[in-house]
Amino acid sequence: MNLLLFGPPGSGKGTQAQFLSVEYRIPQISTGDILRDDVKRATPLGRQAEVFMKRGDLVPDELMVEMIRERIRRADCSGGFMLDGFPRTVPQAEALDQMLDSIGQRIDRLLSLHVDAEELVTRLTERWTCPSCSLTYHPASNPPRDDQRCDADGAGLIRREDDNAETARRRAQVYFERTYPILDFYRPRGLVVEVDGNGPIQEVRNRVKVALQGEPRAA
Ligand code: AMP
């Protein structure tokens, strides 16, 4: 199964991706996580990407395409993969098609999560993230068991630098202007599965499960 995950920042993509990665036994490839790691390690890619990420803007397509090309060639992707955060522009989607064609593969499904706009900014500005495994927490709907520590690995939770209100709004705007239109690129192929991402994590998880079992259809 080669799966694409779509949804605005704060839609719960990363959380659902972690469940799906276990269920389908495919690696979750989060371009945001890869970039944050590069920024932390001050690699050439990290240094170039940092300025865009701080503003909530997209990192240039050529950098992203090269990153994904290298990542999906690795052995752990031979049985399928899930892309969380890629493609985010039409040129990225076109480049992904070419890449997959050249290795005799294709996208099987695109899961798109929909969440009300006002809910998104609240979720982002209140969320805590584990810097080591990227699990996210929310004080009301998904608090950590031990205050400020990740349930999975005990690391101290942090606020992502781009989860402030101003950058969160910019990221949502960029999503709706540049990324959401890509759904129309994939729709004619009948691959798009749309799911209501509002409400508790477990409810969304159940909706996602049911939706992916059936034929692609609108929410
Ligand atoms: P995310 O963790 O998916 O919210 O991504 C965090 C930031 O990384 C985004 O706001 C962008 O600056 C950058 N980013 C992640 N994926 C991409 C992509 N496919 N294309 C361009 N920029 C990206």
| pLDDT surpassing 80 at residue 212 | yes
Q: What is the mean pLDDT of residues 104-121?
A: 92
Name the closest-CA residue to atom 1, ligand 1.
Answer: 32
Cα–Cα distance, 49 to 47 (Å, whole number): 6
**Is the distance from the beta carbon of residue 88 to the nearest atom of ligand 1 less than 6 Å?**
yes
| pLDDT surpassing 80 at residue 126 | yes
Residue 70: the pLDDT is: 95
Q: Has residue 158 been placed in a domain?
A: no
Q: Has residue 104 been placed in a domain?
A: yes
Q: How far is the CA of 37 from the centre of ligand 1 (A)?
A: 12
Active site residue 178: no
Q: Has residue 34 been placed in a domain?
A: yes
Q: What share of the chain has pLDDT > 90, as a percent? A: 91
Residue 56 Cα: closest atom of ligand 1: 10
Query: Could you tell me the residue range of the domain that residue 71 belongs to?
Result: 2-115+178-211
At 218, is the pLDDT very low, low, confident or very high (cuts 50, 70, 90)? very low
Cα–Cα distance, 44 to 38 (Å, whole number): 8
Q: Has residue 194 been placed in a domain?
A: yes
Provide the CA 25 distance to its chain's centre, in angstroms.
Answer: 17
Q: How far is the CA of 33 from the centre of ligand 1 (A)?
A: 9
Cis check: omega of the bond before 87, within 30 degrees of 0? yes
Q: pTM value?
A: 0.90
Residue 205: the pLDDT is: 96
Active site residue 160: yes
Alpha helices in the chain (DSSP H): 13-24, 31-41, 44-55, 61-72, 90-102, 117-126, 165-174, 182-186, 201-213
Active site residue 145: no
Residue 147: the pLDDT is: 85
| pLDDT surpassing 50 at residue 219 | no
Q: How far apart are the first and last CA of the chain?
A: 21
Q: How far is the CA of 32 from the centre of ligand 1 (A)?
A: 5
Answer for the pair 5, 13: CB distance below 8 angstroms, yes or no: yes
Q: Has residue 182 been placed in a domain?
A: yes
- Looking up residue 187, the CATH number of its domain turns out to be 3.40.50.300
| pLDDT surpassing 50 at residue 189 | yes
Q: What is the mean pLDDT of residues 193-209?
A: 95
Q: How far is the CA of 64 from the centre of ligand 1 (A)?
A: 9
Greater confidence (93 vs 219) lies with 93
Cα–Cα distance, 128 to 150 (Å, whole number): 9
**Is the distance from the beta carbon of residue 10 to the nearest atom of ligand 1 less than 6 Å?**
no
Q: How many CA atoms lie within 13 A of 12 on its CB side?
A: 26
Residue 2: the pLDDT is: 96
Q: Phi, psi at residue 136, to the nearest 5°?
A: -120, 155
**Is the distance from the beta carbon of residue 31 to the nearest atom of ligand 1 less than 6 Å?**
yes
At 123, is the pLDDT very low, low, confident or very high (cuts 50, 70, 90)? very high
Q: Has residue 136 been placed in a domain?
A: no
Q: Has residue 130 been placed in a domain?
A: no
Q: Has residue 217 been placed in a domain?
A: no
Across the chain, mean pLDDT equals 94
Residue 30 Cα: closest atom of ligand 1: 3
pLDDT tens-digit profile of 42-81?
Answer: 999 999 999 999 999 999 999 999 999 999 999 999 999 9
Measured at the alpha carbon of residue 183, what is the angle toward residues 181 and 189, in degrees to the nearest 5?
A: 140
Q: For residue 178, which of 77, 65, 59, 68 has the smallest C-alpha distance?
A: 59
Number of domains in the chain: 1
